[in-house]
A and B are shown apart, each in its own frame.
Chain A
Amino acid sequence: MSPILIIVFAPLIAAIIAGFGNRALGNTGAKVVTTGALFLSAILSWPIFIAFLTGDAIAEVVPVLKWVQSGEMTFDWELRVDALTAVMLVVINTVSALVHLYSWGYMEEDPDQPRFFAYLSLFTFAMLMLVTADNLVQMFFGWEGVGLASYLLIGFWFKKPSAGAAAIKAFVVNRVGDLGFMLGIFGTYLVFKTTSIPEILDAAPAMSGATIGFLGMRLQTMDVLCILLFIGAMGKSAQLGLHTWLPDAMEGPTPVSALIHAATMVTAGVFMLCRLSPMFETAPTALMVVTVTGGATCFFAATIGTTQWDIKRVIAYSTCSQLGYMFFAAGVGAYGVAMFHLFTHAFFKALLFLGAGSVIHAMHHEQDMRYYGGLRKHIPITFWAMMAGTLAITGLGVYHLGVGFAGFWSKDAILEVAFARGTGLSVTAFWLGVTAALLTSFYSWRLMFLTFWGKPRWIESEHIQHSVHKTPEEAGEDTTGGYHPHESPLTMLVPLGLLTVGAVLAGQVFAPSFLDDAAFWDGSVFYNANLIAAMHAVPYWVKYSALIVMILGFAGAYLAYIAKPDIPAKFVGTFGWLHNFVFRKWYFDELYDRIFVKPAFWFGRQFWKLGDIGTIDRFGPNGIAAVVQRGSVAAKSIQSGYLYTYALIMLLGLIAAVTYVLL
């Protein structure tokens, strides 16, 4: 049996056992089964990845089961393993296994643990189906499967109204993207008469000059298809316009945020672009759309990140922003670079989320950074892990020394390649990326300073007040309120430790393969050797731009939150409108509520009351009844005798039929 079968189906089986076994199995049983399955998958994934790194592996497709055959349209369940899949396998399974383990500690007191672990494993299965898909429809299966798991996990604490609302929002907004994905699949089938990804990629270049009718317009075929598919990617990867669900998704437990809303599911859109990269390379306009969307998102989300108080929301906007980087990297044709950032980001962002979870755990479920402060000494291991994550995301590293944290290698490569691509659009994306890097550094250090430095402000938090049974007045001078934050248990610290290793080393170790080794990718993504060469040849100021803005961001955050803590308030006082605009997330939620949600309900009511009842029924059945009654044609028979009338008409009809035939 091929190991990929075990890798993919072990989590599914574990999810079924834990989900249906539930109480019979008990908390420990469910945890052991699911976590065991995930560690098994993770351990089996690494040799596959290493084999591709060393060039010992060749791509294969393992058939599983027939799925659909309808006329010429056929697609089956099958598992594709190539270099691109192998990268995703280690990312998904490693992070998932660690998140499972972490959840032992984090979810310790939850009454509903088997359900939680079953959902986590189910998610992992769906994600694996997505990345091993050999046809677009199976990819869509995984796509929707992760959407389901995300829905269930965001709504895991379903008693909270906000969790239920966030879960629906995530699903429905994603469905808007899925509309594009589905139409993209239909169009692709129409053009290529297949949904098999390798066949489509082979045939795509020949269609690069073709035109097609779409909604009455005549457009470039490949641009239409790729833009439709990209709309799907925008939904799943929370790109500008379809991003509104991601911050709300933080309603889910923190391990979920780390696994689904940072490391894996939200990167599915980037994965899709890379998987279909030879197809996108035939669609210049679509790639421009990708570049613009990515560049805009990375900037837009970073601005919001600088103003939020909820520690998880800061990281959520950071994720949104980092996904923007990956997209514009893909947009300028550097798919390997996009995948590299996906890879490193998975480690350091999962680390940041799990670190934030550890802080939240220590602070009695308080998530508001205004009530943190001075935690450095109290939870030192968490602090150092978060520090590694912050250095990784802000991209500390020095080009001439050839050393740096993970983010240095991948984010700098993205900025360089955007600059090297040399079109007006790509250079714009470069500048947006640099600005976003400045903001990234600022909000990341702001998070660190507010959380780990300064005086404790704990007693202001209601959660802490509940814990110590004191009001701020009673606590007086002692702003800790006598609360003692405690370091997390070992099950949570071990994943933090392992991810720290990833955040520090993943860039350094894997950069040569991901960035420069065409043989590693072996055609699984479109590899543009000239562009990569140009990337290495950019001027030094470009290479150092990210480091410079990182230092500026650090300095700004230091100034505003350590040296002169009154600056933020002054800024808000002077530029209140700007702060409001950014703090309220550019008013996207308000806007969508006004143009989509409210009108949908309004139209629904109008259609129902005025359409169905007021028009169709009034002039239809009720109108006829009124006419009949007014004509006093045995009004009573309509009330009680209609059945017989009906039977009689039928009988007469039949007699007529028989007579007719006989004659």
Chain B
Amino acid sequence: MDFPILTVMMLVPLAGAIACLFAGEGSRLIALLSTLATFALGVLLWINFDNDGAQWQFTERYELVAGFNYALGIDGIALMLIMLSVFLMPICILASWEAIQKRVGEYMAAFLFMEVLMIGTFAAQDIFLFYIMFEAGLIPMYLIIGVWGGDNRIYASYKFFLYTLLGSVLMLVAMFWMVATAGTSDIPTLMQYNFPVGAQTWLWLAFFASFAVKVPMWPFHTWLPDAHVQAPTAGSVILAGVLLKLGGYGFIRFSLPMFPVASAEFAWLVFALSMVAVVYTSLVALVQADMKKLIAYSSVAHMAIVTVGLFAFNVQGLEGAIIIMLSHGLVSGALFLCVGVIYDRLHTREIDRYGGLSINMPYYAVFFLLFTMASIGLPGTSGFVGEFLSLAGIYQVSTWVALVCTTGIILGAAYMLYLYRRVAFGAQKNEDAAAMGDITAREWAMMAPIAAVVMWMGVYPESFLAPMREDIKALDARLVLAAPESDSQLVVGAPKESAANAVAAPEGYEGEGAH
């Protein structure tokens, strides 16, 4: 296709962002329309994506300065993540419609600008272009937390900054070395390039420093609860929905294909940190009194299942990990919206201030329940498909890791249902909470589309698996040589001669056994 759709998808929100800066109150509508237009382009992009076609589609390439290119192009994995971003964006604008009253124009511009950079990150085919988009995408997020955030926003954004800085510097150094060695900054070429085994180790660690913070993996996660708590609702939605996916995407796009040997060598490290994360952060989530903190900690636990899936080195693990990324983007985003809905009414995130909301907000309770169930991986929702495939993948590598990570389904049920019980069940103990009205038409418009996609992904995930099937197969083929050995090691011996409960026929019995 000659139409540069990816560039246009970035130009539309960019134009919107510039317009918003000058539009003041009118910027809400401008932002909504431009995100919707971008989403429409996204749908067009998906429709025109050929599942069986070339690995990289919609490619655009312009030489800028020697060696540094404006190169775009997507595979199925990038397509899905772009769809996630452009789908969530209009919902974020709606979520901010009334909640944001000061400096609306700048706020909307920050969001739109972030959309540009997110699309750019997923579509970039030049490693330096990726780097710019990847790092710059966080600047609007700092602003959103730092300017429109809660009381303790400075500390939160400072923490966010500190964690990210260290990782990205190391990653940048590694990128220089790679480009110099391979002689190209083209990502698809680098993905096929065999770096020397010795170098892979430190390259992997340099990238890991950046991605582990973004995911975030334990113990680099403590910026996340603070950032979420201080961010406005829509900020949390994008943070959980898309920004956390950058780390996982980084592993898929860089660490695994470019340093397969080192990835296998360090798989134990990823497993160990992820196992700790599942148990540790789930238990921490259990004792939270702040709704947003609880969901933030649950995100760390869920993302740990993503990382074990990615480093399972098989198709189920990889596909499962990506489906969890998509699912978690939708579900935790929706859960933050659910928090936002009641926060807008009562201005507190403290769980104990609510209770019995099923009575006065029945439709809200239904949506909240659906997203709660999706979060704990109930089959039929998106959460299950991802979790199941990812854990099935890791079981083929290590039964220990599978066992520990699968305890997440118990702990997840415990903290989410405990949250739901305190918010939606029980008696209406606070008058102001009991007086809150059910969700409005605007809130319906935010929740219903996410709910529909969550169910769709749960019942018929083929729509989401098909575009990336070939890409995963290619990645798996590259990884298979380095794949770690399974601890199951089936040994087939001589089968037993009879069934476990075989008995001799009683005397005088003329049944089948007598023949």
Contacts and interface: CB of A to CB of B under 8 A. Distances in A.
B406 A601 contact: no
B182 interface: no
B436 to A, nearest CB: 17
A159 B426 contact: yes
Contact of B493 (A69, A172, A210, A420): A210
Given A70-B389, A190-B488, A608-B284, A172 B501 contact: no
B460 A65 contact: yes
23 contacts: A68-B385, A68-B389, A71-B472, A141-B380, A161-B427, A182-B406, A189-B395, A190-B490, A208-B496, A209-B492, A212-B490, A420-B506, A528-B502, A530-B505, A533-B509, A601-B287, A608-B284, A620-B222, A642-B157, A654-B132, A657-B175, A660-B176, A661-B65
Given A212-B490, A604-B283, A638 B426 contact: no
A654 B488 CA distance: 47
| Those 5 A-B pairs whose CB atoms lie nearest each other, nearest first | A333-B501, A71-B315, A209-B493, A186-B395, A661-B67
Contacts of B168: 650
Given A185-B392, A531-B501, A616-B222, A68 B492 contact: no
- Secondary structure at the B interface, as helix, strand, loop or mixed, is helix
Contacts of A178: 409-410
Given A71-B319, A530-B504, A624-B162, A186 B392 contact: yes
A605 B297 CA distance: 13
Given A647-B139, A660-B180, A530 B513 contact: yes
Interface string A385-428: 00000000000000000000000000000000000111000000
A657 B410 contact: no
B449 interface: no
A355 interface: no
A172 B414 contact: yes
B1 interface: no
Contacts of A530: 502-506, 509, 511-513
B51 interface: no
Interface stretch (B8-16, B242-250, B416-424): B416-424
A317 to B, nearest CB: 25
B413 interface: yes
Nearest to B496: A208
A466 to B, nearest CB: 19
Q: Quick one: which of A137, A206, A611, A639 has the most chain B CB within 10 A?
A: A611
A94 interface: no
Interface in B452-511: 459-462, 465, 469, 472-473, 476, 486-496, 499-509, 511
A443 interface: no
Q: Quick one: which of B185, B223, B284 has the most chain A CB within 10 A?
A: B284
- Secondary structure at the A interface, as helix, strand, loop or mixed, is helix
Nearest to A147: B378
A599 to B, nearest CB: 9
Interface in A280-294: 280-284, 287
Contacts of B320: 70
Contacts of A137: 379, 388
B65 A658 contact: yes
B172 interface: yes
A176 interface: yes
Interface of B: 65-68, 128, 131-132, 135-136, 139, 142-143, 146, 154, 157-159, 161-163, 165, 168-169, 172, 175-176, 179-180, 185, 219, 222-223, 225, 280-281, 283-288, 314-316, 319-320, 356, 358-359, 373, 378-380, 384-385, 388-389, 391-392, 395-396, 399-400, 402-403, 406-407, 409-411, 413-414, 417-418, 421, 424-427, 459-462, 465, 469, 472-473, 476, 486-496, 499-509, 511-513
A73 interface: yes
Contacts of A70: 315-316, 319-320, 389, 465
B406 A179 contact: yes
Contacts of B358: 158
Contact of B499 (A77, A159, A528, A660): A528
Given A190-B396, A190-B488, A211-B491, A171 B511 contact: no
Contact of B495 (A68, A207, A646): A207
A642 B161 contact: yes
Interface in A183-222: 183, 185-187, 189-191, 205-216, 221
A175 B416 CA distance: 13
Contacts of A221: 490
A196 B287 CA distance: 41
A421 B158 CA distance: 71
B220 to A, nearest CB: 8
B462 A73 contact: no
Q: Quick one: which of B219, B411, B473, B495 has the most chain A CB within 10 A?
A: B495
A252 interface: no
Contacts of B506: 420, 530, 533-534, 537
A158 B424 contact: yes
A612 interface: yes
Nearest to B172: A653
A161 B426 contact: yes
Given A209-B496, A616-B219, 13 more contacts: A67-B461, A68-B385, A69-B465, A158-B358, A171-B413, A179-B410, A210-B492, A214-B399, A281-B499, A282-B496, A528-B502, A607-B281, A654-B128
A529 B511 contact: yes
A604 B426 contact: no
Nearest to B358: A158
Q: Quick one: which of A68, A159, A625 has the most chain B CB within 10 A?
A: A68
B396 A211 contact: no
A608 to B, nearest CB: 4
B376 to A, nearest CB: 8
A600 interface: yes
A140 B491 CA distance: 28
Nearest to A165: B421
A569 interface: no
Given A281-B499, A643-B142, A148 B373 contact: yes
Q: Quick one: which of A186, A191, A642, A646 has the most chain B CB within 10 A?
A: A186
A578 interface: no
A545 B446 CA distance: 65
A168 interface: yes
Nearest to B389: A70
Interface in A418-472: 420-422
A325 interface: no
A210 B495 CA distance: 7
Contacts of B225: 612
A528 B427 CA distance: 55
A183 B158 CA distance: 42
Nearest to B127: A657
Contact of B222 (A617, A638, A662): A617
Nearest to A532: B511
B19 to A, nearest CB: 23
Given A642-B161, A657-B176, A68 B465 contact: yes
Contacts of B489: 212-213
Nearest to A332: B501
Interface in A611-640: 611-612, 616-617, 620-621, 624-625, 638-639
A284 B497 CA distance: 12
A299 to B, nearest CB: 22
Contacts of A564: none
B280 A625 contact: no
A70 B390 CA distance: 10
Contacts of A176: 410
Given A612-B222, A658-B65, A604 B128 contact: no
Nearest to A138: B379
B461 A68 contact: yes
B135 A650 contact: yes
Given A137-B388, A148-B378, A600-B414, A281 B65 contact: no
A164 interface: yes
Contacts of B496: 205, 208-209, 282
A176 B414 CA distance: 11
